[in-house]
Amino acid sequence: MNEFYQKDIISIKDFSKDQLEEIFASTDKIMQLNSSDRREICKGKTLGYLFYEPSTRTRLSFDSAMASIGGNSLGISDISSSSTQKGESLSDTVRIMSIYSDILVLRHTLDGSSRFASEISEKPVINAGSGTEEHPTQAIQDLFTIKKEKKKIDGLKIGIVGDLKYGRTVYSLLYGLGNYDVDVRLISPESLRIRSDSTYEIKKKLDFTETTDIEEYLDELDVLYVTRIQKERFPDEEEYLKVKGSYVVGLNMLKRMKDDSIILHPLPRIDEISSDVDKTKNAKYFEQAEYGKHTRAALLGMILNENGF
Ligand code: CP
């Protein structure tokens, strides 16, 4: 039996390097299959999604991934049109969705929501973003993108810039990078440094330095992972306005970077990468979004097929 069969995907911390590499190999395989063979992988299976927070990429890439492997999707993308509005609990909503689906994808405002859902659901649950805590499938897509574009992960110098306090993609990426031999530079305003409750755990597996000055390490980076300041997570607007626009990656900055460095961003972008960077060979954030469809298709195929695909 394949070890991912019926597995919940709650935290990237649950994955070893070998398991991540196995997902990358399955993603490569899925990308090489012709479309009719691909559609056999999850033929007749249903993905149920529950999004208590807005999403473009995550929800649509799961939808598109499931369609590409022959399955279908149903779910709630706008919680205001669901019976949550009448007071139905997350627990009951998850229980109902797990009756109608073979696998559940949940995005929720609360840390711990996906773990909670996985304890209720009889079907596997995939965390599509839980509060400020984690976004494990984003990290899988980010690591896969680095591997595809740089041909390796070990040995790289990786800068992560922006909102390191509230950005859940940052935590999942850092936990994932903990499986590799990388040097990490964390760049943020003082008030948006990574949370101290996570620092201890990250430090056990990863070397990193922290700075507020993006210029300090630009010339040595192989990867610059840019994140949005998460306005919606600030306790008040005044605090957000103090750090809004702290870093804007533009062509001038890019000139100071290695010629073969890559710029990533989980997206959505607001103003932290200027649009003239998009046309450069270093900008890989749209490729990253495309890889997200394929990594998710591979994960779904592995979770829903006892003997893999
Ligand atoms: N990267 C990401 O999670 O994007 P969405 O919020 O659009 O799903």
Q: What is the CATH number of the domain that holds 92?
A: 3.40.50.1370
HSE (side-chain half, CA atoms, 13 Å) at 146: 27
Judge whether residue 165 has pLDDT over 90. yes
Which residues of the chain form beta strands (DSSP E)?
A: 46-51, 72-76, 103-108, 125-130, 157-161, 183-187, 207-211, 223-226, 262-264
Count up the domains in the chain and report the number: 2
Ligand 1 pocket residue status of 128, Cβ below 6 Å: no
Q: Which of 52, 227, 267 to mutate to test the pocket of ligand 1 (most atoms within 8 A of CB)?
A: 267
Residue 205 CA to ligand 1 center (angstroms) comes to: 27
Confidence band, pLDDT 50/70/90 cuts, at residue 147: very high
Which two tokens mark 291?
């890889």
Distance 32 CA to ligand 1 centre (A): 26
Q: How many residues does the chain have?
A: 309
Cβ of 138 less than 6 Å from ligand 1? yes
- Ligand 1 centroid–CA 71 distance in Å is 22
User: Which one, of 131, 130, 169, lies nearest residue 267 by Cα?
Assistant: 169
DSSP structure string for 211-232:
ES-GGGTGGG-SEEEE----GG
| 151 in any annotated domain | yes
Residues 178 and 233 grouped into a single domain: yes
Atom of ligand 1 nearest to the CA of 53: 6
Of residues 143, 100, 101, the one with CA closest to residue 126: 101
Q: Is the CB of 55 under 6 A from ligand 1?
A: yes
Domain check: are 145 and 120 in the same one? no
| Nearest alpha-carbon partner for 212 in 243, 176, 188 | 188
The dihedral over CA atoms of 113, 286, 298, 108, expressed in degrees to the nearest 10, equals: 10
Question: Do 270 and 294 fall into the same domain?
Answer: no
Residues annotated catalytic, as ranges? 57-58, 86, 107, 135
Q: Residue 5: inside a domain, yes or no?
A: no
> pLDDT band for position 47 (50/70/90)?
very high
Average predicted confidence (pLDDT) for the chain = 96
Of 115, 119, 139, whose CA–CA distance to 127 is shortest?
A: 115
Looking at the chain, the whole-number percentage of residues with pLDDT higher than 90 is 97
| Same domain, residue pair 141 and 278 | yes
CB neighbours (10 Å) of residue 91? 13
Whether 112 is in a domain gets the answer: yes
Looking at the chain, the number of H-run helices and the number of E-run strands are 11, 9
Which DSSP string corresponds to 255-268? HTS-TT-EEE--S-
Evaluate whether residue 246 is within a structural domain.
Answer: yes
Of the candidate ranges 77-81, 134-138, 170-174, the one whose mean pLDDT is the lowest: 77-81
Report the SS3 class of residue 128. Answer: strand
Residue in 12, 57, 107 to alter for ligand 1 test, most ligand atoms within 8 A of Cβ: 57
Residues 261, 206, single domain; the answer is yes
Ligand 1 centre to CA of 307 (Å) is 30
226 lines ligand 1 (CB under 6 A): no
From the alpha carbon of 135, which atom of ligand 1 is closest?
Answer: 3
% of residues, the chain, pLDDT over 70: 100
Asked if residue 173 and residue 296 are part of one domain, the reply reads no
Shared-domain flag, residues 22 and 82: yes
Does 226 lie in the same domain as 153? yes
Q: Is the CB of 57 under 6 A from ligand 1?
A: yes
Query: Residue 298 pLDDT more than 90?
Result: yes
Q: Which of 52, 58, 107, 288 to mutate to test the pocket of ligand 1 (most atoms within 8 A of CB)?
A: 58
Q: Same structural domain for residues 182 and 115?
A: no
From the alpha carbon of 61, which atom of ligand 1 is closest?
Answer: 8
The residue behind tokens 């998710």 is: 296
Name which of 9, 282, 276 is nearest 129 in CA terms: 9
Distance from Cα 1 to the centre of ligand 1, integer Å:
32
Please name which of 217, 215, 149 lies closest in space to residue 183, comparing C-alpha atoms. Answer: 217
Any domain includes 238: yes
Q: Retrieve residue 300's tokens.
A: 């779904």
Are the C-beta atoms of 258 and 219 separated by less than 8 Å?
A: yes
Question: 54 C-alpha vs ligand 1 centroid, how far in Å?
Answer: 8
2-6, 165-169, 231-235, 298-302: the lowest-pLDDT one: 231-235
The predicted pLDDT at position 1 comes to 85
Q: Are 272 and 297 part of one and the same domain?
A: no
Q: DSSP 3-state helix, strand, coil percentages of the chain (rounded to 5)? A: 45, 15, 40
State the pLDDT confidence band at 86, using cuts at 50, 70 and 90: very high
Over residues 26-47, the mean pLDDT reads 98
Q: What is the residue range of 149's domain?
A: 136-289
Q: Is 35 a domain residue?
A: yes
Given a cut of 90, is residue 48 above it in pLDDT?
yes
Q: Flag whether 7 is in a domain.
A: no
Q: Is residue 309 part of a domain?
A: no
Instruction: Say what the pLDDT of residue 295 is.
Output: 98
First to last CA, the chain: 11
Query: Could you give the 3-state DSSP secondary structure of residue 134?
Result: strand
Best of 55, 62, 141, 286 to mutate for ligand 1, by most ligand atoms within 8 A of CB? 55
Token look-up 């990574």 returns: 194
One domain for residues 163 and 233: yes
> Do 31 and 69 share a domain, yes or no?
yes
In our burial notation (b when 16+ CB lie closer than 10 A, e otherwise), range 238-256 reads: eebeebeebbebeeebbee
State if residue 172 touches ligand 1 by the CB under 6 angstroms criterion.
no
Structure confidence at residue 111 (pLDDT): 95
- pLDDT tier for residue 160 given thresholds of 50, 70 and 90: very high
